[in-house]
Structure 1
Amino acid sequence: MILLTAAVGIIQLIIAVILAVVALYIGFYIFGRITRDVDEQQELAKGNVAFGIVVAAIFVAIAVVVQSGITGLSVGVSKASALGLMSVDGLTVIGVAIIQLILGVVLAVVAIYIALSILDRLTTGLHEFEELKKGNVAVALEMAGVIIAVALIIQSGVVGITAALG
Structure 2
Amino acid sequence: MFFLRLLVSFFELGLMIVLSGLIIYVIYRVFIKANPEFDMEEEIIRGNPAVGILVSGIMVSAALMLRKGVGASVGMFRLSISAPADVAFPLWQTALLTLGHLVITLFFAIFTISLTLRLFGRMVNKLNPALRLGEQVRQGNLAVGILLAAVVFIATLYVGEGVSALTKALVPQPRIGTIQIME
Q: Does 1:133 align with 2:138?
A: yes
Q: Which amino acid is 1:41 matched to?
A: E
Q: Does 1:40 align with 2:40?
A: yes
Normalising by structure 2, what TM-score? 0.78
Partner of 1:116: 117
Worse-matched range after superposition: 48-57 or 4-13: 4-13
Partner of 1:154: 159
SS of 1:89's equivalent in the other structure is: coil
The 5 A counterparts of 1:1-166 are 1-83=1-83, 89-91=89-91, 92-124=93-125, 125=129, 126-164=131-169, 165=171
Q: How far does residue 25 in structure 1 lie from its aligned partner after superposition?
A: 2.1
CA contact (8 A) 2:81 2:88 kept: no
Q: For the residues of structure 1 that align with 2:34 and 2:98, how far apart are their CA atoms?
A: 29
CA contact (8 A) 1:76 1:94 kept: no
Q: For the residues of structure 2 that align with 1:97 and 1:17, how far apart are their CA atoms?
A: 15
SS of 2:89's equivalent in the other structure is: helix
**CA deviations over 1:8-45 (Å, ceiling 9, x no partner):** 11221222222222222222222222323433233223
Q: For the residues of structure 1 that align with 2:34 and 2:96, how far apart are their CA atoms?
A: 31
Q: Which amino acid is 2:141 matched to?
A: N
Q: Which amino acid is 1:75 matched to?
A: G
Worse-matched range after superposition: 119-128 or 102-111: 119-128
Worse-matched range after superposition: 50-59 or 75-84: 75-84
Choose 1 or 2 for highest CA Rg. 2
SS of 1:123's equivalent in the other structure is: helix
Which protein is richer in helix relative to its size?
1
RMSD between aligned alpha carbons? 2.4
Count matched residues.
Answer: 166
Q: Point out 4+ residue stretches in structure 1 off by more than 6 angstroms.
A: none
